[in-house]
Amino acid sequence: MASKAVYSHRDPMLKKRDDFEDILEERRNTSDLRYALRCYTPALYKGLTPCTASQLKTMVLQSDQLLYVINQVSKETGTATDEIQSEAEAILEEMAHRLQLSTIRFFAFTLSKIFKTLFRSICVNEEGIQRLQQTIQEQPVVLLPSHRSYMDFLLMSYILYTYDLALPVIAAGMDFMGMKIVGEMLRMSGAFFIRRSFGGDKLYWTVFSEYVKIMLKNGFAPVEFFLEGTRSRTAKSLTPKLGLLNIVMDPFLKGEVFDISLVPVSISYERILEEALYARELLGVPKPKESTSGLFKARKILSENYGSIHVYFGQPVSARSLAEGRVDRSQFNLTPRHIPRKPSEGIQDFVNDSAFRLVRSQEENMVLKPWVLLAALLLQNQAAGNKLGVLVEDLTEQAVWLRDLSRQFGAFLHWPDHIPPSRVVSSSLSLHRSLVRVSEGRVQLNLEPGFPPPAMTPEEELLSKAVVVLSCASYRNQVLHVFIRAALLASAIHSVAGSRKQEIFNAFSFLRNMFSNEFILRPGAEVQDFEEACYLLVKSAVLQVHQQEVLVTDRGHRTLAFLTSILDPFVQGYQMVCRFLCEEAAESLTEKQFVPGVRKFFIKHLLTGGLKYVEVLSSDLQKNALAALLRLGAVQKLRGGADEGTLKVNTVMVNSLEDTLGGKLPTQKPLAARL
Amino acid sequence: MASNSSGDESGRHQTARHRLSVIAGHLQRPSDRNAALLAVDCKAQGSKPNVKTSDRDEGRTVPRRRQEIMKWNGWGYSDSRFLFNKKGQAEFTGKRYRLSGMIIPGLKDWMEGTFGANLQHKTQATPVLNTSAVQPPMLNEAFVEELKSTGIPFSHEAEDRVFRAHGHCLHEIFALRDGKIGRVPDMVVWPNCHNDVVKIVELACKHNVCLIPYGGGTSVSSALECPPEETRSIVSLDTSQMNRILWIDEKNLTAHVESGIVGQDLERLLNESGYCTGHEPDSMEFSSLGGWVATRASGMKKNIYGNIEDLVVHIKMVTPRGVIEKSCQGPRMSTGPDIHHFILGSEGTLGVVTEVTIKIRPIPEYQKYGSVVFPNFEQGVACLREVARQRCAPASIRLMDNEQFKFGHALKPQVSSIFTSFLDGLKKFYITKFKGFDPNRLCVATLLFEGAREKVLQHEKQVYDIAAKFGGLAAGEDNGQRGYMLTFVIAYLRDLGMDYYVIGESFETSVPWDRVLDICRNVKARIIRECKDKGVQFPPLSTCRVTQTYDAGACVYFYFAFNYRGLSDPVHVYEQVEHAAREEILANGGSLSHHHGVGKLRKEWMRETVSNVGVGMLKSVKDYVDPNNIFGNRNLL
């Protein structure tokens, strides 16, 4: 079957997964102090020219690129080059890390203590570590961990230290700098700080990119950054940010190094430290500014059990192999390489595509705990209006069914097979007892306030429910990447009356396009995704796919129903956003007013029962919906003048999108790709 | 060493002469060659064509029957080859070169260490050509008949034809060693002069015969391969007998020379009159003046004398449309695009170059070799760049990387005196221990200075001063001289390698200065990676050197070889790796070729190299000059 072949070598990054080893186990048995003080001699890059942090700065300040831009800025602004030079020095000073081993040792000691109290285990795939060790010697390495928690980068350095690997330098957001002592300590453990936005500041950009490139090219240390740009509050992978990836690809594309190895790292937490915090943030309770005292207040979390962490170092991806046959590197032959140029469209597409592949491979290697499946089931149950909760036995049966399904779909599921499913379920429920309530053999989300209800307005009550639902959703979200393609197909089949393959594909493409800000869907891969979805659903005996037709088998309805309902909250959320824009958007709705406006609108409809999914209150979903509408041109953002940021709604188009989403309108014109 | 040149005037001259004899090698001086310097008319013009050719051959290297003195399936003279003697020591046979008859003690270890080669594992080349494996000639009878009447000598013997069916690409030589013969020319003709060529081309046009000009046969671009799709009779036009210097003009310092003359003869004959061209490509023993013009050759001393395009003053070429030449010998003209540039690099697709007026110079008064050791390749390149910036490059300056430095070391002949070996040891100690150079990183530049003695010494100081700024240490004349000598024997070494399952080749590019280091690193790494991917069992030799400096860039040479034991189709693997290496060169801003030319080996990249319009321009010239594709070697386009 053709689609099979497509699927099997769909993605070279997909490989059989390695086994894990718990690195805390040794920490529990031997001295942390000795561990923190042990001899540390990592293998280094073979082409390394050793240099100190201050030599590094000099190299940056004297680089051709920077000198060129300084001259350019000087000409444009009329400022003397000396002045700009010292400005560049100041930027670098503010940015640069001061990696020192003593700080790492300090962290190694304290983190050992903290990790042991917080987590049951920290599991790492040692084969991945070995691959990484090899790679670090051969090529400059870029580490790309997923980003779900503040813990991520300390954890990464901790693991690399544990395995005697070269410590990375880490691109961190400037907001950490607010925490005085901690900021400096992070700096000394290898973090360098970048401003969140520096739009048109050429000088800043050049200092920054040269700094990163020089560290990378010289093999000074592995460079680490988060492709997603920020912590995902929803536990779904975020659409990758391209800035830093562009920078690290550049030396390879311009031939300054032979190759660069990109190592996706998937960090999965059984329980996220920031769980409730994220939910509140998504509901509009503003995020507390990072401060040292705040961090100490967070210490009450120390008394809780956060289960285990799995860290999977993926197969290193060579930039060279990504670019093979895709990028014509000779395009850089005709201008001096130190003159900054906007990357060509081809390069942008290439970097974007690579970013999606890398994020996708992070997703693939995320370990999923049984609880993730339970969360998905409980949420569906709750949305179905089941007030009593579900019988534990039923939940167990459903969980086992879903376990088998997700395994067929290739999920990296850590379900302990040697333990009876009922015990797996009950222990998962107990770890997450803040989110679920078990009483009289029935399980449901812990939506009722435990204490005698204080006087709450219905709105407050709804929001407190929503905190639990969104927390729960953040677990369910972890499994979405496994099902998303099949879910899009299921929804497409659901929305199309007949069984004609082309029509289903059109509906699939429409949905896929609609939700491509919501999920990781590689641009331009419609056909591939469609075939993959078909392949999976045929494999699990849900569909029969013929030349012209797609037929649902008798056994397939349960799976299809599950898949459709997993996507349903998003479909409904997007529909309601459309409705909001058509009904409520006044002439002068600005981008800033959008989220509060939608929220109010949603709360109103939730309270009146016009809307069943509480999770649509997530500002993430709302923003993604807006981004999609902007991308599709249904909404326009005005620029400049007094109207800056005002949203101009194309009511007709938004309306028809809403109807198409609701299945009231057939997918209009077939999208670009055809089967 | 013999070129120790601290002495008097005559000593200096001796040095210069000695060097030339090193390069041009070895030949007995012909007793009388004055005749050659007369402006003789073409002997074939007379009614008795085939007589007296023997006296033309006197003092000339290349006979009509090349196979009499040269290998039919390897490089160079039949009597000169590397072999491992009964004691297992490497030895270079013959009497022609300075290395001839010497033992090279380090070579065995180097080959075993570098390639994992083993003296026990030998592959024998087919010793003699099996003429029955050669397709019988497909003759155009009418053409042959008319050719006979002109009296121009020709042959359709298998040996003659096979010899002209190949250059020296690895795959060509490998096939010959295997006894595999593909499409070969159906006939070989030896014109004696320009007019002979005119007649041959006329007849070829008249009878629709495919002509492939053949000069020295040293092509490494598959340029001489007969296109397998060619259905017409193919005639190889061997220019080797057009080898006279027709006149020397001392007032203007030019010489008018027939195009078939090979480099060593041209230099030697000019030397007799106190002149030289200074054009010394590494292949100069065998490559011909016409070949240089047709491929845009480059000589190692181009810093003083220029490349071939700087050297030629006038070119005469016979095309199917007639003869193309300029009407005067003015040193520069503003008369539209220079028609010489349609000829230079035309690779035998437009016609046959028959006569060239070339610049000559008095033999330099003084020559001196030198060498500099650098702590690493990066420093070496930086030094060469600075030398180029100051425009003070010596006649030749070449920088070898570490692997090549080691290779050069392995080729050191056995030293006769304990004293020399003691000195060597001392030098090594000084450089690695005292100066702290890492023997696995250091690299060496070889230098050749030429000119008036005072100036050479001054120049030498200037260059060494620059080198010192980049950590370079002067490392003596011997090392330098040996480096240049090796240039001429290195091609023989490939044959030795092939006896022991090692295949390899070199290829070149030119690249802007700021990319030299990047291209060297990336291409070498690409070769290693490709070999691994293609299943080569042993780590390959992947090395490079910078061989020429220009204002805006440099010429880089890559050497690449590997042990092919365990591979079912080594040549295919080799070709894939070379292809990948060329892709890498282009991706890193290197040119398709600096002086080897395009031939058929690299023509797939011509379009991206010169743009669509560029290809169209070249095509339209071809279409005008040779509408019936008489010059049908299918090179370039």
Residues of B in contact with A256 (CB under 8 A): 518
In order, the DSSP letters of B386-419 are HHHHTT---SEEEEE-HHHHHHHHHTPPPPS-HH
pLDDT digit string (tens) for A540-566?
Answer: 999 999 989 999 999 899 999 999 999
Residue B5 pLDDT more than 50? no
Residue A337 lies in a domain: yes
Q: What angle do CA A413, A416, A417 make, to 5 degrees?
A: 105
Number of CB atoms found within 10 A of residue B605's CB:
17
Task: Give the pLDDT confidence of B186-198 residue by residue, as tens digits.
Answer: 999 999 999 999 9
pLDDT tens profile A559-598: 999 999 999 999 999 999 999 998 887 667 888 889 999 9
Mean of all residue pLDDT scores within chain B? 89
Residue B33 scores a pLDDT above 50? no
Q: Is residue B318 predicted with pLDDT exceeding 80?
A: yes
Burial degree of B32 (CB within 10 A; 0-12, 13-18, 19+): exposed
> Is B218 known as a binding-site position?
yes
- Give the whole-angstrom CA distance, residue B573 versus residue B579: 10
Phi/psi of residue A445, each to 5°?
Answer: -65, 145
Rounded mean pLDDT of A15-27?
A: 84
B451 annotated ligand binder: no
Interval B446-497: pLDDT, tens: 999 999 999 999 999 999 999 999 999 998 898 888 888 888 888 899 999 9
Which two three-digit tokens encode residue A2?
């053709």
Residue B622: HSE in the Cβ half-sphere, 13 Å Cα cutoff: 21
Pairing label, strands A308-313, A261-269: antiparallel
Q: Which of A348, A363, A378 delimits the end of a domain?
A: A363
Residues B507 and B528 in one domain: yes
CATH number of the domain residue B78 falls in: 3.30.160.650
A337/B514 touch (CB, cutoff 8 Å), yes or no: yes
> What is the average pLDDT score of chain A?
88
**For residue A11, is it within any domain?**
no
B277 and B332: one domain?
Answer: yes
Q: pLDDT tens-digit profile of A75-127?
A: 999 999 999 999 999 999 989 898 888 888 999 999 999 999 889 999 999 99
∠ at Cα B169 (B166, B173), nearest 5°? 65
Query: Token match 């390959």: residue?
Result: B540
Q: What is the pLDDT of residue A532?
A: 94
What is the CB neighbour count within 10 angstroms for residue A53?
14
Order of strands, sheet of B366-374, starting from the edge strand that comes earlier in the sequence: B473-474, B366-374, B443-451, B396-400, B541-549, B553-563, B502-512
Q: What is the pLDDT of residue B408?
A: 86
Q: What local confidence, expressed as pLDDT, does residue B363 receive?
A: 96
Q: Which residues in chain B have Cβ-Cβ distances shorter than 8 Å to A65?
A: none
Residues B328 and B351 in one domain: yes
Decide if B395 is inside a domain. no
Of residues A206 and B29, the one with the higher pLDDT is A206
Q: Which of A255, A256, A337 sits opposite B587 (nearest CB)?
A: A255
A170 domain-assigned: yes
Show which of B362, B388, B414 is a domain's final residue: B362
Best B378, B514, B588 member to test A by mutation, with max A CBs in 10 Å, is B588
In a domain, B148, yes or no: yes
3-state secondary structure B258-321: ECCCEHHHHHHHHHHCCEECCCCCCCCCCCEHHHHHHHCCCCCCHHHHCCHHHHEEEEEEEECC
Q: Which two tokens stand for residue B397?
A: 């300056």
| Cα–Cα dist B228/B184, whole Å | 9
DSSP per residue, B32-91: --HHHHS-PPPGGGSS--STTHHHHHTT-S--SSGGGTB-SSSSSBTT--EEE-TTS-EE
pLDDT at B32 over 60: no
- CATH code: domain of residue B236: 3.30.43.10
Take residue A342 and report the two structure tokens written for it: 């906007």
Give the closest residue to B229 by CA, choosing from B210, B202, B215.
Answer: B210
The token duo for A47 is 């082409």
Give me the CATH number covering residue A628.
1.10.10
Q: Is the dihedral of CA A20, A26, A32, A37 positive or negative?
A: negative
Q: What is the CA radius of gyration of chain A?
A: 26
Q: Which of B362, B379, B401 is the last residue of a domain?
A: B362
Lowest mean pLDDT among A532-546, A577-591, B76-90, B507-521: A577-591
> A255–B519: do the CB atoms touch at under 8 Å?
yes
Q: What is the DSSP letter of B333?
A: -
For the segment B35-53, the average pLDDT, to the nearest whole number, is 42
From B518, B522, B587, residue closest to A330, measured CB to CB:
B587
Say what the pLDDT of residue B417 is: 64
Residue B472 lies in a domain: no
What are φ and ψ of residue A618, in 5° steps? -65, 120
pLDDT exceeds 60 at position A674: no
Q: A251 is in which domain, residue-wise?
A: 53-99+122-266+312-363
Q: How far apart are CA B76 and CA B217, in angstroms?
A: 10
Q: Which of B235 and A288 is assigned the larger pLDDT?
A: B235
Q: Does any domain span residue A177? A: yes
* Same domain, residue pair B180 and B266: no
End residue of a domain, out of B191, B221, B240: B240
B159 and B261, same domain (yes or no): no
Q: CB-based contacts of A570: which residues, under 8 Å, 6+ apart? A: A515, A518, A621
* Alpha-carbon gap, residue B89 to B67, rounded angstroms: 28
In a domain, A600, yes or no: yes
Residue A51 in this model has a pLDDT that exceeds 90? no
- A157 is a domain residue: yes
Q: Tokens for A104? A: 């790492």
**% of chain B exceeding 90 in pLDDT:** 78
- Tell me, yes or no, whether B216 and B296 share the same domain: no
Q: For B266-292, what is the mean pLDDT? A: 96
Q: Does a structural domain hold residue B6?
A: no
* Average pLDDT over every residue of B506-525: 96
Of A11-20, A104-113, B62-71, minimum mean pLDDT range: A11-20
Is there a domain that residue B471 lies in? Answer: no
Interstrand relation of B322-324 and B312-319 (parallel, antiparallel or unpaired): antiparallel
| Residue B106 forms part of a structural domain | yes
Which residue among A303, A329, A363 closes a domain?
A363
Chain A, chain B: beta-carbon pairs less than 8 Å apart: 24
Q: What is the pLDDT of residue A459?
A: 85
Pair A260, A285: CB distance under 8 Å:
no
- Name the packing angle between helices A81-95 and A64-77 (round to 10°): 130
At A574, list the tokens: 């997007």
**In this model, does residue A424 exceed pLDDT 90?**
yes
Instruction: Please tell me the total count of domains within chain B.
Output: 4
Could you tell me the pLDDT band of residue B47, with boundaries at 50, 70 and 90? very low
Residues of A in Cβ contact (< 8 Å) with B514:
336-337
Question: What is the pLDDT at residue B422?
Answer: 67
Last residue of a domain, which of A321, A347, A363? A363
pLDDT at residue B39 greater than cutoff 70: no
Assigned token pair, B363: 């033999």
B373-397 pLDDT tens trace = 999 999 999 999 999 999 999 999 9
Name the band, by pLDDT with cuts 50, 70 and 90, for residue B419: low
- When pLDDT is averaged across residues B46-74 and rounded to a whole number, the result is 68
Q: Which domain holds residue B520?
A: 501-598
Query: Which has the higher per-residue pLDDT, B467 or A294?
Result: B467
Give CA torsion, residues A173, A179, A184, A185, to 10 deg.
Answer: -100
- Tell which of A254, A258, A259, A320 to mutate to test the B interface (max B CBs under 10 Å): A258
- Domain count of the fold of chain A: 2
pLDDT of A210-251, one tens digit each? 999 999 998 889 999 999 988 999 999 999 999 999 999 999
Work out the minimum CA distance from A293 to partner chain B, whole angstroms: 50
Angle at A68 (CA atoms; ends A63, A70), nearest 5 degrees: 95
Q: What CATH number did the domain enclosing B550 receive?
A: 3.30.300.330
Place of tokens 């390899």: B504
* Closest Cα in chain A, distance from residue B636 (Å): 21
Phi-psi label, residue A587: left if phi above 0, alpha if psi -120 to 50, beta otherwise: alpha
What are the pLDDT digits (tens) for A150-192? 889 889 999 999 999 999 999 988 766 667 787 888 888 899 9
* Cα separation, A242 vs A419, whole angstroms: 43
